[in-house]
Amino acid sequence: MKIERVEALHLRLPEVKLVADGTQDVLIVRVHTDDGRVGLGEVVSCSYVGRAVIESPRSAPFRHGLAAIVPGMDSQDIEGIALAVEQGTAWYGPGGIARHAYSGLDMALWDLRGQAAGVPVRRLLSPTAVDCVPAYASVLWPARPDLVGASARAFVETGYRYVKYGWAPMGPDLALDVELVAAAREALGDDRGLMVDAGRAWTAVEAMKRAERFAEYGAFWLEEPLQPYDNSGYAELASASPVPIAGGEAVTLLEEYDALLATGLHFVQPDLGRVGGITYAQRLAATAHARGCRPVPHAFGTGVLLAASAQWTAAAPQPLTEYTRAPSPLARDLARHTMEFRDGH
């Protein structure tokens, strides 16, 4: 199957609010092959810039758009395509937006590989891949602690065994932060996992104050408490926190993940729409497992990202995936697939 063309589809809601919800503005990649197949992927970045990286025509050496690099290549030669893209974008890559855009391409290539083989992608990744993976509900914190209860009880009634709340209003005030977590725990009960996403709000000192208080409520993990590249802070926090520390969704290159994993991080959260799709996520997972760190995909996007992330984690020793419950129709209605949510999975 030769690659015929690559499309970048930028979809945006009529009104985009300044909240931490990336599903208001998304970039989907479609890869068409000469035998009529179509593979789907998703880029998690600035959609406008990512689209330009894909659609830019050939230029001077090492600065081409992805759609100009890969046509005519064998869609099954994923490693060869990765090398061609790395070389073709070297003037503005390999990290940042170049890797983000490539992520959507790689995701679509794995989709095509699964179609050609007639098996789900998880079977290509591991012969022991499971057909059912735990999925945690992922949403932003309600505006006030008194609004958390109704939200959490709805997730319990739906069957979720894990729920993650994140970002504002959490951050500036310790007492408010504790109130939010306490309200979530009370409504979820003691038998549900509660993840807390801090949205990169604190220093290591402030994060430790929260971790000590959140431990009282049995937090499953404390996610992104620090700025993405504060590796000294992560090392300090991971060694002393009574709550497991998670992070890594904003990191791109494997060399950057090496530095993050060296901090003793407990959960690493690559976003398949940023790290380099399934190809680079597989490489990262091998390193993470060797360091005793559990990979869990960050998947706050559309159903395209959800599907790819579920396939990837299904091949892992301890599968678990993020399941975006954002209200955006791009998150909820864009993709139609055969996955079913049942009993927390």
pLDDT greater than 90 at residue 337: no
Closest listed residue to residue 271, CA positions, set 239, 308, 240, 235: 308
| Cβ atoms of residues 6 and 284 within 8 Å | no
pLDDT in tens, 125-134: 999 999 999 9
Cα gap 323→135, rounded to integer Å: 6
Q: How far apart are CA 301 and CA 44, in angstroms?
A: 8
Cis, peptide link before residue 94, omega less than 30° from 0: yes
Provide the pLDDT confidence category of residue 20 given band limits of 50, 70 and 90: confident
pLDDT at 168 over 90: yes
Q: Report d(CA 127, CA 125) in Å as an integer.
A: 7
Inter-residue contact 33 to 6 (CB < 8 Å): no
Q: What percent of the chain has pLDDT over 90?
A: 97
Element (H, E) at 296: none
Do the Cβ atoms of 324 and 306 come closer than 8 Å?
A: yes
Average pLDDT, the chain: 97
| 3-class DSSP state of 162 | strand
- According to the model, what pLDDT value does residue 126 have? 97
Q: What is the reported pLDDT for 83? A: 97
Helix (H, G, I), strand (E, B), or coil: what is residue 136?
strand
Determine the distance from the C-alpha atom of residue 210 to the mean position of all C-alpha atoms in its chain, rounded to a whole number. Answer: 24
Which pair of tokens denotes residue 192? 């549900």
How confident is the model over 166-190, as a mean pLDDT?
97
Longest dimension (CA), the chain: 60
Confidence of residue 267 (pLDDT cuts 50, 70, 90): very high
Q: Compute φ and ψ for 242, nearest 5 degrees.
A: -75, -10
Whether the CB-CB separation of 308 and 321 falls below 8 Å is answered with no
- What's the mean pLDDT in 5-29? 95
- State the Cα–Cα distance between residues 242 and 247, nearest whole angstrom: 16
The reported pLDDT for the residue numbered 256 is 97
Say if strands 25-33 and 3-12 run parallel, antiparallel, or are unpaired: antiparallel
How high is the pLDDT of residue 152? Answer: 97
**Cis peptide upstream of residue 244 (ω within 30 degrees of 0):** no
All residues at 6 or more sequence positions from 180 whose CB lies less than 8 Å from its CB, including other chains: 141, 145, 148, 165, 169, 170
**Do the beta carbons of residue 174 and residue 212 sit within 8 Å?**
no
Name the 3-class secondary structure at 66. Answer: helix
Q: Read out DSSP for 225-290?
A: -S-TT-HHHHHHHHHH-SS-EEE-TT--SHHHHHHHHTTT-SEE--BTTTTTHHHHHHHHHHHHHH
Tokens (6 digits) for 153: 């009880």
Spell out the residues 6+ positions from residue 152 whose beta carbon is closer than 8 angstroms to its own.
163, 183, 184, 187, 188
Report whether 150 contacts 337 (CB < 8 A).
no
Gap between the Cα atoms of 173 and 198, Å rounded: 12
Average pLDDT on 246-272 reads: 98
